[in-house]
């Protein structure tokens, strides 16, 4: 039917600062996207609606077992997952503007499996899993450091190697297995959201393992120097999943390598078969069952810790009414019901 609003003008500004300034001065009636970190710059918030739209995007920690042999043990990966308080992570890193997720298929998808294994925050469970995996707590003292410095001159290469490891760790309580200390290096892109998220995760893991290192990579180098060469042990990163729940591109073994999107280099024959069958079938129910089973396998193997799905914040003046969009695939989808928007309303006089 005929739209209620006759004309819409798009104004393209140089940067976000100019755009927010235009909104504050009533020169525009909305902003296509507002990062949570910049919300405080918006002055007249009472006259605006902040629509938090579901976006097919996820943020997760991807593991690279080749870079850190300790991560090859499923129990270690699961322990690290249980050690993260996702609620606290979302509240502090993205100001609550995200949904908790438990797998590669998002909650609003027809293929979502709500019954998959959940990694709810539990330090006790994390500690138990590490113990079952053979990791024990040892305490290195100042005296141990002094002896280690002496051992650096030993002729026995094994003694020297152990001394170097002790000096690198320093005094404190650490987890050890087969003379190797558990150290996790978390890499992410250098921006405010992921920088804060990584800082919190590192804190959770430090409380568990006693030793976690952080590494921030410049945005213009993350692909070429970190992701493609798989130069990471644990990588906090985001992925756009798209409208269809088919996760083939991200998790099928054929997508392993620099040219593929299987960042964790995950390979599982049963998962491969489910992904192959799921994309070949046109029957909705058949696809749903394939993808649900796939999610169960991923949840058990835990090649990545699925954290949250960030919302897309669209800002619009309250005088504009009728927007009922809840989920979008691309930013332009915020206009999908634009024919129902309206500004002026007729006054009705009741006698």
CA distance 348 to 335: 29
Are 4 and 322 spatial neighbours (Cβ–Cβ below 8 Å)? yes
Q: How far is CA 326 from CA 52, 58, 243, 282, 323, in A?
A: 8, 17, 14, 26, 9
* Residues 6+ away with beta carbon under 8 Å from 263: 62, 227, 230, 235, 237, 239, 250, 304
Cα separation, 272 vs 294, in Å, equals: 9
Question: What's the pTM value of the predicted model, to 2 decimals?
Answer: 0.89
Write out the two tokens for 208: 């568990």
**Measured CA distances, 344 to 6, 319, 321, 336 (Å):** 12, 8, 9, 20
- For 163-194, give the DSSP string: HHHHHHH-SEEEEEETTEE--EEEEEESSHHH
List the structure tokens of 142.
Answer: 């100042």
Q: pLDDT (tens digit, 0 to 9) for every residue of the chain, 351 residues total?
A: 889 999 999 999 999 999 999 999 999 999 999 988 888 899 988 999 999 999 899 999 999 999 999 999 999 999 999 999 999 999 999 989 999 999 999 998 999 999 999 999 999 999 999 999 999 999 999 999 999 999 988 888 888 989 998 999 999 999 999 989 999 999 999 998 999 999 999 999 999 988 898 999 999 999 999 999 999 999 999 998 888 999 999 999 999 998 899 999 999 999 999 999 999 998 999 999 999 999 999 999 999 999 999 999 999 999 999 999 998 988 899 999 999 999 976 666 666
Contact 169, 140 (CB under 8 A): yes
The gap from C-alpha 43 to its chain's centroid, in whole angstroms, comes to: 30
Cα separation, 85 vs 200, in Å, equals 9
- Which residue reads 């991560």 in tokens? 71
Q: Which residues pair with 51 in a beta bridge?
A: 314
Question: Are the beta carbons of 124 and 83 closer than 8 angstroms?
Answer: no
212-217 vs 180-181, strand pairing mode: unpaired
∠ CA 149-150-155, rounded to 5°? 115
56 token code pair? 């097919």
3-class DSSP assignment, residue 136: strand
Hey, what are 151's tokens? Answer: 């051992």
């Amino acid at each position: 039917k005929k739209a209620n609003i006759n004309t819409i003008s798009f104004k393209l500004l140089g940067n976000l600062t100019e755009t927010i300034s235009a909104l504050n001065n009533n020169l525009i009636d909305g902003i296509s996207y507002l990062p949570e970190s910049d919300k405080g710059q918006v002055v007249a918030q009472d006259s605006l609606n902040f629509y938090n739209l579901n976006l097919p995007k996820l943020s997760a920690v991807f593991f690279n077992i080749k870079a850190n042999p300790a991560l090859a043990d499923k129990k270690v990966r699961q322990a690290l997952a249980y050690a993260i308080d996702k609620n606290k992570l979302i509240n502090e890193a993205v100001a609550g503007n995200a949904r908790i997720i438990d797998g590669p298929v998002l909650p609003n998808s027809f293929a979502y499996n709500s019954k998959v294994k959940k990694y709810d925050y539990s330090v006790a469970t994390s500690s138990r899993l590490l113990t079952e995996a053979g990791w024990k707590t040892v305490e290195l003292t100042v005296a141990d450091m002094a002896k280690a410095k002496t051992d650096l001159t030993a002729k026995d290469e094994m003694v020297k190697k152990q001394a170097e490891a002790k000096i690198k760790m320093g005094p404190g309580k650490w987890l050890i297995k087969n003379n190797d200390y558990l150290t996790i290096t978390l890499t992410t892109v250098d921006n405010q959201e992921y920088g804060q998220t990584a800082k919190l995760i590192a804190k959770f893991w430090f409380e568990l393992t006693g030793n976690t290192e952080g590494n921030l990579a410049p945005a213009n180098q993350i692909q070429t120097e970190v992701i493609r060469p798989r130069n990471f042990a644990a990588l906090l990163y985001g992925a756009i999943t798209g409208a269809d729940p088919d996760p083939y591109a991200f998790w099928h073994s054929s997508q392993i390598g620099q040219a593929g999107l299987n960042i964790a280099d995950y390979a599982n024959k049963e998962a491969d078969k489910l992904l192959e069958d799921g994309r070949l079938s046109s029957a909705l129910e058949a696809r749903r069952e394939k993808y649900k089973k796939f999610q169960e396998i991923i949840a058990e193997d835990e090649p990545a810790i699925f954290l949250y799905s960030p919302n897309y914040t669209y800002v619009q003046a309250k005088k504009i009414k009728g927007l009922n969009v809840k989920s979008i695939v691309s930013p332009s989808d915020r206009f999908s019901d634009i024919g129902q928007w309206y500004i002026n309303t007729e006054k009705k006089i009741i006698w």
